[in-house]
Amino acid sequence: MHAKQMFDLTGHRALVTGSGQGIGFALARGLSQAGADIVLNDIDPARLTTAAETLSGEGATVRTLTFDVTDPGAVQTAIDGFEADIGAIDILVNNAGMQVRAPLEEFPVERFDALMRLNLNGVFYCGQAVARHMIPRKAGKIVNICSVQTALARPSIAPYTASKGGVANLTKGMATDWARHGLQINGLAPGYFKTELTSALVADEAFTAWLSARTPAGRWGDVDELIGACVFLAAPASSFVNGHILYVDGGITSSV
User: Which is the catalytic residue, given 125, 160, 192, 247?
Assistant: 160
CA 239 to CA 241: how far, in whole Å? 6
Q: Phi-psi category of 154—alpha, beta or left, where left has phi over 0 and alpha has psi -120 to 50? A: beta
Distance CA 16, CA 234 (A): 11
> Among this protein's residues, is 125 annotated catalytic?
no
41 burial class (0-12, 13-18, 19+ CB within 10 angstroms)? Answer: buried
Helix, strand, or coil (residue 193)? strand
How far, in Å, CA of 183 to CA of 107, rounded?
Answer: 38
- Distance (Å, rounded) from C-alpha 25 to C-alpha 14? 12
Instruction: For residues 152 and 158, give the distance between their C-alpha atoms in angstroms, rounded to a whole number.
Output: 10
How many alpha carbons fall within 13 Å on the CB side of residue 28?
34
Q: How many other CB atoms are found less than 10 A from the CB of residue 11?
A: 9
Q: Which residues contact 103 (CB under 8 A, 6 or more apart)?
A: 155, 156
Q: Could you list the active site residues?
A: 160
